[in-house]
Structure formats: C-alpha cells, structure tokens
Structure 1
Amino acid sequence: MGPFLLRAALTGLALWIVTQIVPGVEIVGGDTTVERVGVVLVVALIFGLVNAFIKPVVQLLSIPLYILTLGLFHIVINALMLWITAWITERTTKHWGLTIADFWWDAIWAAIVLSLVGWVLSLVVRDATRIVR
C-alpha cells in the first residue's frame, strides 16, 4: 500500500506542477487548501486508473502508429489519457477535477511536461530511497 500511495502522491504533485506551467490545464474545485489537495489526489488516482486500464488497450490498437512515427505517437496517447481523465472528472456533480481547454496544444504540452516532471520526481525519490537504505 505504501508504494501505491507514494506513486499517487507523486502523480498528484506532477499534475499540480503541470497546471502551474501549462496554460489551459487547470484543476478546479476545493475551496480550502486541504480540499484542493484532496481534489489533486483524487484526480491523480483517476489518472492512474485510466493509465492502468485504458492505456494498454489504446497502445495495442495503435501499434502501427507507433511504428510509423518512431514512438512519437506515445505523446498523443499520454495526452489522450489526460483528456479522458479530464472528461471523467468534469462529469461529477460538484464539477471538480481536471480541465483541459484544448486537446491538441494544451493536452499535448501537458503530456510532455507531465512526462518530464514525473521522470525528475522518480529520480529524486529513487535517490532518496537509496540514501535511506
């Protein structure tokens, strides 16, 4: 349970950083700081579930596009996963969650930034766990 929660927290942090960098991508909902952190964590959990269940199917179906673009289609797939997460969270009764203004530029840039931020955070956590051990 510990690694899962750590991964969810890192994904939430990465998503929050993306909302600070990429215009057109926001996390809405939550009046207080605690509620806002809760919304970010729930969005991160939903994003993790989307990546776990939907992404493998989409990747399998798009193998020809991966080959044709030499792997660059992976960015579009990641943007699509963000878009699906935004679609799911926007459908809540309280209207909280991730919002993406435009798929093509905002979601694509968010996917690129999210990949880079996630990679840097994973390096930091990996180095921190080495020091602790």
Structure 2
Amino acid sequence: MLRFAIKVVLMAGVFFLVTQVLDGITIDANPDAPLGEAGTYLWIALLFALVNAIIGPVIRLLSLPFVLLTLGLFLLVVNAALLGLTAAITDRLEVAGFGAAVLGGLLLAIGNWLVDQIVDRG
C-alpha cells in the first residue's frame, strides 16, 4: 500500500511536468482545497491510477489484435483513451484534442516507467 501511495505522489509530479510541457493538457488546480494545488494533482494522479488499473486491462485485452497489427503503437491510442476518460471523470483535467491526448499519454507512460524504476529499486 505504501508503494502505491509513493507512486501516486510521484505521478502527481509527472502530471505537473506534463501540464508544463504540453499546451493541450491543463489542470485547473484548486488553491482552496485542503491540500492546496498539490491536492488537485494528487487527486488526478490517483484517479488516473484507478482508471488505468480497472479499465486499462480490459481495453488492452480488447485492443490486442490492433496492438499486434501495429507492433504495439496502438497502445499510444489506448493510453490517450485512458487519459481522455480520466478527463471526462473529473472537471479539473482538460485534454484539448486527440493529438494532445496521444502526446500526453506517451509522456505519462514514460513518466510511469521512470516512477516504476525508482520505486521498485528502492
């Protein structure tokens, strides 16, 4: 459980970096929330982790023929869909278009890989 909490905190930082790099992904941080603006990023990271853990495997399994046909590139579309679904669930995250979702999904996948490397080695 502690590893999951550490991963969510680190992914909140990844979300912050992604919003700074990409213009198409914005987070409407709430400074009046109990944890301030950081709490908004933590909430979105937690929500994205839950969407990825619950819905992600089903979508990946259903899209397996496309993933095999495109040699894995279709997983970028799957990540974009999961990011878009997270944005649809919360009103604090906005994704402006499919291109921003694909680039955001790619950056979040790279960030998630880095977070996994950091947490699993520790």
Provide TM-score, normalisation by structure 1.
0.83
Q: Secondary structure at the match of 1:71?
A: coil
Deviation at 1:124, TM superposition (A): 3.9
* Higher radius of gyration, 1 or 2: 1
Greater Cα shift, 28-37 or 67-76: 28-37
Look up the match of 2:23.
Answer: 23
Q: Deviations over 1:8-27 (max 9, x none)?
A: 11111111111111111011
One-letter code aligned to 1:74? L
Q: Does 1:7 find its partner at 2:1?
A: no
The unaligned stretches of length 5 or more in structure 1 are: 91-96
One-letter code aligned to 2:86? T
Distance 1:58 1:78 in 2: 10
The unaligned stretches of length 5 or more in structure 2 are: none
Q: Does 1:107 find its partner at 2:101?
A: yes
Look up the match of 1:85.
Answer: 86
Q: Secondary structure at the match of 2:49?
A: helix
Q: Does 1:98 find its partner at 2:93?
A: yes
Deviation at 1:2, TM superposition (A): 1.1
CA RMSD in angstroms, aligned pairs only: 1.7
Deviation at 1:32, TM superposition (A): 5.4
The structure-2 alpha-carbon separation of the partners of 1:125 and 1:56, relative to structure 1 and needing over 3 Å to count, comes to closer
Provide TM-score, normalisation by structure 2.
0.90
Look up the match of 1:119.
Answer: 113
